[in-house]
Structure 1
Amino acid sequence: MSKAELVRRYVLFLFGLFVNSLGIALATRANLGTSPITSVPYVLSIRFPLSLGMFTLFFSLLLIAIQLIILGKRFPKQFLLQLPVIPIFSVFIDLSMALFWFVDPQTYPAKVCSLLLGCLVLGFGVFIEVAANVVMLPGECTVKAISTRWNTNFGKTKVAVDVTMAATAAVLGLLLFHTLTGVREGTFISALLVGTIARLFGRLIGAPVQALLKSRQLSQA
């Protein structure tokens, strides 16, 4: 891989990261729950005076620690790339939440529309990150660590991890608020839709995006 292509992939990844944060913000503003990976930081951000982005940073560091425990000496060096990425992602999340300050749907159909739009944007962001193929976020790295350690299917492991995240957030909500807070139908809708949307974008425009990333004409421009 040429240096020019590598630079393009990292630029695309950062763009995908920002799109990802926009989708998270839209889904969160719908007030129907947020994506499973964001559910624990979201519940904590409701209770304590720190932003969703800051709690996402702390939660991501916890996930990296879990990966280290699971893999030990088998922890891949490329997983260290998570460390410079998570502060950027955290800032993007807070920026996106601020950009969409005006999104406050009052009726249930409006909430659903905001949630579905968030899932669409988030799915596109996930597609871009996967297409860039340079760094995985802590959620995906944790799934990869588990599937590597116990030789499990990545897709099924991701579902199990998502369910665990949502269940953990639900328990936190019950402990902190004595009622189910932060985890609602939107959490499960997001879990079902985002991956499907990302795969759909992959089938529709995956090949052209990869061709553009590898284009020598761009390198010579």
Structure 2
Amino acid sequence: MEKKNYAARAAIYAMGLVILAAGITMNIKTGLGVSTIISVPFAISSIWDVNFSLVTFATYALFVVIEMIIKGSDRTVIDWLQIPFSIVFSLLLNMFSKLLDFNFGHLWQNTLYLAAAIICTGAGMSMMIAMKFVPNPADGLAQAIGKAFGKNMGFGKNILDASCVAIACVIGLLFDKRIIGIGIGTVAAMLLVGRCVAVFDHFFKDRMKSAAGLAE
């Protein structure tokens, strides 16, 4: 085992966090549909004109609470660090929402932007997961759900994705008589982000872990 390089580990994790927030924000800006995990806060903020970042934080905090309930006595102090993570992540979403204020007029432009969003989301997730630090609350909950069913994290993520989209649709139809934020971009993110994570892992995971002293 290599000696752990905590500075490199923190830097890669932080970079992944920033790239993830940028990717999710870009997904929203395409106008083709938001990513699955933030579909609920997006619907709520759109209907009631509540700050999107604030609602996202509340949603992520709820994810952490549900995760803690599922994990029971298996929960650790590290798991609770997902709460401050949610605060930082919400602030990053708010920042990128102002910085990435693009309005493309053609479908092909938005499609390319969506592709870039999915790549960034997958790359950010890969970097964060590889560092084995504080998990994204959505990933933490997905892992807990998968374990509760005796399955892997991928199974848990499918359950969480489907649940978020269904809840977002119900909220939109009940309170605004339309489906809000769900579109081809949502489906594309659901199908392709995992593939992007796998590709990024294939080319860069070992290098990142080696740089952080996590390689065995």
User: TM-score scaled to structure 2, two decimals?
Assistant: 0.92
Instruction: Name 2:18's counterpart in structure 1.
Output: 18
Find out whether 1:60 has 2:50 as its counterpart: no
Q: Which moved more, 1:142-151 or 1:183-192?
A: 142-151
Amino acid at match of 1:189: A
Whether contact under 8 Å (2:40, 2:164) holds in the other structure is yes
Specify the SS of the correspondent of 2:188: helix
Give matches, 1:1-221, under 5 Å. 5-101=5-101, 103-214=102-213
- State the Cα RMSD in Å: 1.9
Whether contact under 8 Å (2:82, 2:137) holds in the other structure is yes
After TM superposition, give the deviation of residue 106 of structure 1 in Å. 2.3
Whether contact under 8 Å (2:3, 2:213) holds in the other structure is no
> Percent sequence identity over matched residues?
25
After TM superposition, give the deviation of residue 114 of structure 1 in Å. 1.6
Whether contact under 8 Å (1:147, 1:154) holds in the other structure is yes
Q: Which runs of 5+ in 2 are unaligned?
A: none
Amino acid at match of 1:125: G
Runs (4+) off by over 4 Å: 1-4
Amino acid at match of 1:198: V
Amino acid at match of 2:141: T
Residue-by-residue CA offset, 1:74-119 (whole Å, 9 max, x unaligned): 3233211202211000001111111101x11222222212211111
User: TM-score scaled to structure 1, two decimals?
Assistant: 0.90
Distance in 2 of aligned mates of 1:61 and 1:54:
11
Q: Which runs of 5+ in 1 are unaligned?
A: 216-221
Number of matched residues? 214
Amino acid at match of 2:37: I
Amino acid at match of 1:63: F
More helix by share: 1
Instruction: Name 1:219's counterpart in structure 2.
Output: none
